[in-house]
Amino acid sequence: MTGSLLDVHDLSVSFDTYEGRHDVLDGVDLTVNEGETVALVGETGCGKSVTARSIMGTLPRPPGDITSGEIRYDGADLLADEAAHERVKGDEMSMIFQDPMTYLSPVYPVGSMMADVATYSGGRDASWWEILKNLLGHRADREAIRERSVELLDRMRIPDPEGTLDRYPVELSGGMRQRVIIAMALINEPDFLIADEPTTALDVTVQNQILDLLRERVEERDLSMLYITHNLGVAREIADRICIMYAGEIVEVGRTEDIFDAPLHPYTRGLLESIPKLTGFEGTGIDGQIPDYTDPPSGCRFHPRCPAAMEGTCDVEPVEEYAVGDDRTVACHLYEDGMDFEDAAAIAADEATYRGEDAQPAEAGVGGER
Amino acid sequence: MSADSPEPPDAGSSSTESRTAIHRAEDRAGDPLVSVRDLKKHYPVSDGLLNRSKSYVKAVDGVSFDIFPGETFAVVGESGCGKTTLGKTVARLYGATDGTLTFDGRDVTELEGKQLRRLRRDVQVVYQDPSSSLNPRRRIGNIIREPLDVHDVGTKAQRRDRVAELLRMVDLPVEFRHRYPNALSGGQKQRVAIARAIAVEPKFVVLDEPTSALDVSVQAKVISLLDDLQDELGLTYLLISHDLSLVKNVADRIGVMYLGNFMEVADSRALFRNPLNPYTEQLLSAIPVIESHEQSLKPTAVEVQGETPDPQNPPSGCPFNPRCHRRFDACDAVEPELVEVEPGHLTRCLHTPGEKREEVRKALPDGVSFEERDGTLTD
Amino acid sequence: MSDTEPTVDDSTDSALARRIDDLNRIVYRFRQNPMSVVGLAIILSFVLIAVFAPWIAPYPSDAGHGGEPAVHFDQKFESPSADHLFGTDQAGRDIFSRVLFGTRLSLKIGVVVLAAAVSIGVPVGLVAGYVGGGVGMTLMRITDVFLSVPPLVLALSVSVALDSSLTNAMLAIAAVWWPWYARLTFGEVLSVKKETYVEASRGIGATSFRTIFRDILPNVLAPITVKMSLDMGYAILVAAALGFLGLGAQPPTPEWGTMVSQGRDYLPGQWWYSTFPGLAIFLIVLGFNFLGDGLRDMFDVEVQ
């Protein structure tokens, strides 16, 4: 692995509740290379946010508990070295959140919040005198910060960036707020961005504009990004590589175009088939639901829902990540380590399909017009 | 099932036979089940402390359409376009500010009290977020039985059996009746909501973003369940959605809504093959795609820009003009009418092609003419 | 837990098991806060004492059990001893027995006052919140008028106007207490009313009455319960204060506040006279507070 910036290895996280111990993450491996955007894709409750929180060091502990694994950023072991974690969190990483309104304070204008992020981030010690001075508007590098903020907002294509600095979040539209959030995340020139579903709350037309902007900024500064989403269409737009997550395990990793052209893991295939497309909709979906984390299925966690599950194998033997072809791993017993990509694709097409008992024609719809 | 229930005297044509008959989109020739004419829903907004000068948000502003028995009519649009308000006004959850609403040949715009509650037997709603549409303190069985209790359908034992039957119809285990909603997953909760909606055998169901709160793998299942139920029970749907890929696959006809009004209404196939309105073009071109050949089905070279303006302060002229890639001078002066360009295909745009252009011009107020303002129309 | 395979039928056992599981869950959440367990233990002890007072108390007749409180002037002002754990008062009555019997009175005051306050306040809040508009406005403004008078002053004037007696004291306290319930309920109803399930209830065709009782009331009960538990203590405290001021229960009724007031004249020499009833007031108020906090934590968790 050359040039890997973030390296999560064998990360396991549990939560203690009334129902017992939830083994939410089970040996997650995740790598983000320098200058690369990786999308972590999974459905509600699959553990993608827990992964992000573990990386950002914001996992509530207890009830959360990191039971094994390591998170390395640029060589430093973040779980072992708290000081390094603080430094990395403050200086090198930035996070973009899903809902701007819960992240932005309603009582401060945009400019003041941006200035605060610029001044205080990184857990830097600030004396109360300094804070008081800042509150009263006598910030030391006030002009410089303002200039930088205006430039950033301008780059986020916010009309009238000067005026926007003096506005309150409620006065901005959803798309504009998300642009402000991204600008804020960029103000301290981080190297690494974690984006947690930043476009989920937005309309498609706005989502596209935000994704374009985000991609532009990331490319321009050669940032690395971990983009968390449940939307495969969005992942396809933004990511170089995609990690598919199911029930606390990474089930498939590959280059974006490879994943979409030839999904290997039955779960990935099921997800892709579940999405209504302009070309048609099969409406088969995946049976069942995410397992109970207090008692996850033995063997492969996906086997109870898998159409290709093999009795005696999938429900018994734990899965490992198999490297298939070039830059591709899949955690599924259908495949073998070191297999040729073509062979794997053939197996996928043969076995991992969802045409169940009532196979429907490709364009069956609710109205049944066709 | 409904044999046990006394038919309301004024329910007229709602016989059991017609409810179970399967209507397909092809026989749309008959009378519409739902007929909406010039429907308006305005909300008053008070400005500041002295709310003397009341202004209005025109959430729905003069919408007209018909829904025929057995079909799925979809309303698509971005958040804030008024689609949910439209759906709930059509379902008579909200009273209309103006216009008429006809259900099964009867004017139901002004129904109140007992008569309105009786209408609920025929008109049901499935809400967007099943976590909030089910009372967290009632068991699933009670939630599904509620409409039967309310409308006094059957005996106690019959209702109990009906609840079990409904759970089976939506593919849920019968013992779920003892659980509370919190113990269910999102998809299961939405199935419960669907079971509740079909409990009293309605004719017409308003589906308000029924899958947008669900995970994709579950969405597909819920959609095919709704599809099966439509066939089985002969339901008519009004589907409210923001997801064009979904709507393309499930709707017979589609109305594209923007700032309280339809911009385009067409057969599903015609809308995607030949979008006439620039707003529809932008929506289509923004759809995130999964397969590379989906790309070829989207309009090309349309730059998507801007955001929905504040509905309290709509732009003058055509509501879409500030974001429109085909905008020209007359657009902010003249509000275009929705005109039928091809049979069943309506659009609201000054760029209306073909013979209808004359009609669009005639609709212009005195003193505004195209020739004076801009020549682009004659291209 | 399969999404797709419906099982044939369910037995009453599974329903019962589910109820037991619900109960276990509640107990688990409740026990997360150790203070609430202490509170519950204190309150349960007081309840047991109240029920079994005639059997526990060494001299039930001193507290007026079975007639007027007895007097034994030969034994007056004895300091605490094995015979009289809390000593005796100016009429030679056993203070321990009187404090035990006072539990009955205090709990009765708390229950009656809160029952009255809740049965006025909650319906007012429900109607005002659900109906809204002019009706809601009017009801809440009336409530505000009551809220604007300091509670003890209002209670004092009511008891003075109506003659000093325990019943009138309870009436007076209820009169100052219901507006708080009206306001709490009103606010809760406003927020629950926005939930989709209330709209759904209307969409099904339910009457307003049904919607209020099936869908709104059960969802506003949690904060009301918490407030009731916290208020039990305060109601007892206010009743004791009225008793102390001579406006509540009249001597020789073994009411704690009245006893503290009587004992005041003999401080500091006969310190036990005021101290032990005072301690009892302190303990019961503390117990209800702990319990209320625990309940609030429990309901908060449940909401998540």
B183-237 pLDDT, tens digit each:
888 889 999 999 999 999 999 999 999 998 888 888 888 998 999 999 999 999 9
CB-side exposure of C148: number of CA atoms within 13 Å?
Answer: 6
Question: pTM of the entire structure?
Answer: 0.80
**C272 or A121, which is more confident:** C272
Residue B373, in any domain of the structure: yes
CB-based contact, B251 to chain A, within 8 Å: yes
User: Are A45 and A191 contained in the same domain?
Assistant: yes
Is the per-residue pLDDT at B58 higher than 60? yes
Residue C15, in any domain of the structure: no
**C97 or A339, which is more confident:** C97
CB-based contact, C202 to chain B, within 8 Å: yes
User: Are A209 and A336 contained in the same domain?
Assistant: no
Is the per-residue pLDDT at B3 higher than 60? no
DSSP H helices, chain A, are: 48-56, 82-87, 100-103, 110-120, 128-135, 142-155, 161-165, 174-186, 204-221, 232-238, 256-261, 266-274, 341-351
Residue of C nearest to B119 (CA): C205
Please tell me whether residue A322 adopts helix, strand or coil conformation.
Answer: strand
CB-based contact, C4 to chain B, within 8 Å: yes
Is the per-residue pLDDT at A361 higher than 60? no
- Residue pLDDT, tens place only, C24-82: 777 777 777 788 889 999 999 999 998 998 888 888 888 777 777 777 888 888 888 88
A294 CB neighbours in chain C (<8 A) are: none
C297 CB neighbours in chain A (<8 A) are: none
Query: Are C205 and B175 inside 8 Å of each other by CB?
Result: no
Residue A113, in any domain of the structure: yes
Average pLDDT over residues A213-221: 87
CB atoms within 10 A of CB A359: 12
What does the pLDDT read at residue B271? 92
Residue C5, in any domain of the structure: no
What does the pLDDT read at residue A287? 82
Q: What share of chain B is helix, strand, coil (3-state, %, to 5)?
A: 40, 20, 40
Please tell me whether residue A259 adopts helix, strand or coil conformation.
Answer: helix
Residue B154, in any domain of the structure: no
DSSP symbols for chain C: --SS---S---HHHHHHHHHHHHHHHHHHHHTSHHHHHHHHHHHHHHHHHHHHHHH-S-GGGGTTTSSPP--GGGTTPPS-SSSTT-B-TT--BHHHHHHHHHHHHHHHHHHHHHHHHHHHHHHHHHHHHH-HHHHHHHHHHHHHHHTS-HHHHHHHHHHHH-S-HHHHHHHHHHHHHHHHHHHHHHHHHHHHTSHHHHHHHHHT--HHHIIIIIIHHHHHHHHHHHHHHHHHHHHHHHHHHHHTTSSSPTTS--HHHHHHHHHTTTTTTHHHHHHHHHHHHHHHHHHHHHHHHHHHHHHHHH-
**B334 or B195, which is more confident:** B195
What does the pLDDT read at residue B213? 86
Averaged pLDDT of chain B: 82
Query: Are A289 and C3 inside 8 Å of each other by CB?
Result: yes
What does the pLDDT read at residue B240? 95
Buried b (16+ CB within 10 A) or exposed e, C122-152: bbbbbbbbbeeeeebeebbeebeebbeeebe
- C-alpha A84 chain-centroid distance: 23
User: Are A224 and A278 contained in the same domain?
Assistant: no
Number of domains in chain B: 1
- A125 pLDDT band (50/70/90 cuts)? low
Quote the CA–CA distance of A136 and B120 in Å, as a whole number: 59
Which tokens is C88 given?
Answer: 């005796």
Residue A314 domain boundaries: 274-351
Residue A363, in any domain of the structure: no
- B301 pLDDT band (50/70/90 cuts)? low
What does the pLDDT read at residue A284? 74
DSSP symbols for A283-311: ----SS-PPPTTSPPSSSTTGGG-TTPPT
Q: Nearest by CB to C205, which of B117, B168, B179?
A: B117
CB-side exposure of C263: number of CA atoms within 13 Å?
Answer: 28
- Residue pLDDT, tens place only, A131-179: 777 776 666 677 888 888 898 888 888 888 888 888 888 888 888 888 8
User: Are A141 and A93 contained in the same domain?
Assistant: yes
CB-based contact, B282 to chain A, within 8 Å: yes
Quote the CA–CA distance of C54 and C264 in Å, as a whole number: 27
Residue C8, in any domain of the structure: no
Residue of A nearest to B282 (CA): A205
User: Are A76 and A223 contained in the same domain?
Assistant: yes
Residue A111, in any domain of the structure: yes
What does the pLDDT read at residue C15? 61
User: Are A231 and A314 contained in the same domain?
Assistant: no
Helix H or strand E segment including B99: strand B98-103
Q: What is the dihedral of CA A332, A333, A334, A337, to 10 degrees?
A: 80
Quote the CA–CA distance of B60 and B313 in Å, as a whole number: 14
B187 CB neighbours in chain A (<8 A) are: 289
Q: Kindly indicate whether the ipTM for this predicted assembly is greater than 0.85, answering yes or no.
A: no
Query: Are C4 and A287 inside 8 Å of each other by CB?
Result: yes
Which tokens is C223 given?
Answer: 């904060």
Residue B125 burial (CB < 10 Å; 0-12/13-18/19+)?
buried
Residue B341, in any domain of the structure: yes
CB atoms within 10 A of CB A311: 8
- Residue pLDDT, tens place only, C117-169: 999 999 999 999 999 888 889 999 999 988 888 777 877 787 778 777 788 88
Dmax over CA atoms of chain A, in Å, equals 72
Number of domains in chain A: 2
Residue of A nearest to C2 (CA): A288
Residue of C nearest to B117 (CA): C205
Highest mean pLDDT among A106-110, B240-244, B362-366: B240-244
Query: Are A18 and C28 inside 8 Å of each other by CB?
Result: yes
Residues 165-184 on B with a CB inside 8 Å of C are 167-168, 171-175, 177-179
Rounded to a whole number of angstroms, the distance from the CA of A308 to the nearest CA of chain C is: 18
Average pLDDT over residues A122-137: 67
Residue C153 domain boundaries: 20-60+85-303
- Residue pLDDT, tens place only, B122-147: 999 999 999 899 998 899 999 999 99
Is the per-residue pLDDT at B372 higher than 50? no
Number of domains in chain C: 1
Is the per-residue pLDDT at A356 higher than 80? no
Residue B367, in any domain of the structure: yes
CATH code for position C116: 1.10.3720.10
Rounded to a whole number of angstroms, the distance from the CA of B350 to the nearest CA of chain A is: 22
Residue B346, in any domain of the structure: yes
- Residue pLDDT, tens place only, C198-223: 999 999 999 999 999 999 998 998 88
- A295 pLDDT band (50/70/90 cuts)? confident
Residue B227, in any domain of the structure: no
Rounded to a whole number of angstroms, the distance from the CA of B3 to the nearest CA of chain A is: 28
In the sheet that holds A20-33, the strands lie side by side as A20-33, A4-17, A64-73, A76-77
Quote the CA–CA distance of B274 and A265 in Å, as a whole number: 37
Residue B368, in any domain of the structure: yes
Averaged pLDDT of chain A: 82
Residue C100, in any domain of the structure: yes
- B288 pLDDT band (50/70/90 cuts)? confident
Average pLDDT over residues B48-57: 64
Of A261-270, A352-361, C191-200, where does mean pLDDT reach its minimum? A352-361
**B296 or C185, which is more confident:** C185
Residues 178-237 on B with a CB inside 8 Å of A are 185-188, 215-221, 223-224, 226-227, 230-231, 237
Residue B326, in any domain of the structure: yes
A261 and A331 Cβ atoms separated by less than 8 Å = no
Residues 2-21 on C with a CB inside 8 Å of A are 2-4
- Residue pLDDT, tens place only, C278-301: 999 999 999 999 988 888 877 765
Query: Are C202 and B167 inside 8 Å of each other by CB?
Result: no
- Residue pLDDT, tens place only, B254-264: 999 999 999 99
Residue B340 domain boundaries: 315-378
Q: Which of C197, C213, C302 to probe the B interface (max B CBs under 10 A)?
A: C197
- A105 pLDDT band (50/70/90 cuts)? confident
CB-based contact, A20 to chain C, within 8 Å: no
Query: Are B120 and C197 inside 8 Å of each other by CB?
Result: no
CATH code for position A217: 3.40.50.300
Please tell me whether residue B355 adopts helix, strand or coil conformation.
Answer: coil
Averaged pLDDT of chain C: 83
User: Are A69 and A135 contained in the same domain?
Assistant: yes
Is the per-residue pLDDT at B57 higher than 60? yes
- Residue pLDDT, tens place only, B11-51: 334 333 333 333 334 445 578 999 999 999 998 876 555 55
What does the pLDDT read at residue B151? 92
Q: Which of B214, B217, B271, B320 to probe the A interface (max A CBs under 10 A)?
A: B217
CB-based contact, A287 to chain C, within 8 Å: yes
Query: Are C218 and B177 inside 8 Å of each other by CB?
Result: no
- Residue pLDDT, tens place only, A38-92: 999 998 888 888 898 888 888 877 778 888 888 888 888 888 888 888 888 778 8
Please tell me whether residue A126 adopts helix, strand or coil conformation.
Answer: coil
B50 and B3 Cβ atoms separated by less than 8 Å = no
C6 CB neighbours in chain B (<8 A) are: 167-168, 171-174
